[in-house]
Amino acid sequence: MSNWYTDYSDSILKYIFMMVREFYQAEDLTQETFVKAYVKIQSYNRSSSPKTWLYSIAHNVTIDHIRKQRPIMLFKEVFPNRRDEDPLPDDAIVIKENAKELYAVLGELKTSYREIIILRKINEFSIDETSEILQWSESKVKSTLFRAMKALEKKVKKEGLLNEIIV
């Protein structure tokens, strides 16, 4: 378990960041993920890889956080000019300049669509691994990804970003 933090903390931080879109909150949730993993290490049954098991914990921690934040998120949607945009440290998460628009559009998708795209297309988890992380059937992973990609493509076209971003 001692190497797990070194091996997976950066990718889990990026995953959580793409879900919550607040860097410092993502750092806190990443730490919470590893604390929970440490506390629950006896429940790790080795039927999955450590990475998949940690992503499952990260998923649950992040979803719990998002559920608690719904009233705040609703306020931000109603009053968009009141958002607090935390600047990212230079070396925190590197997003290619030409992909910033894609991440902005991705952030506008509903949570399940954003999450499935992040896991399958950005983090390149297999259908089986994604199914395990989200605790969904493989057919739900496939159908949700299909709908999510259609929704993303529609938003990209609507925003006029199709020439800049290849979906």
User: End-to-end alpha-carbon separation of the chain, Å?
Assistant: 37
Domains 1-87 and 95-167 share a fold: no
Q: How far apart are CA 128 and CA 52, in angstroms?
A: 10
Angle formed at CA 57 by CA 55 and CA 59, multiple of 5 degrees: 65
More confident residue, 72 or 59: 59
Q: What is the pLDDT of residue 161?
A: 59
Q: Average of pLDDT values for 39-46?
A: 88
Q: How far apart are CA 21 and CA 25, in angstroms?
A: 8
pLDDT in tens, 80-92: 444 444 444 443 3
* CATH fold group of domain 95-167: Arc Repressor Mutant, subunit A (1.10.10)
67 exposure class (CB count in 10 Å sphere: 0-12, 13-18, 19+) = exposed
Would the pLDDT of 101 be above 80? no
Domain ranges of the chain: 1-87, 95-167
Pick 1-87's CATH classification: 1.10.1740.10, 2.30.40.10, 1.10.3210.10, 3.40.50.880.
1.10.1740.10
Say whether pTM exceeds 0.85.
no
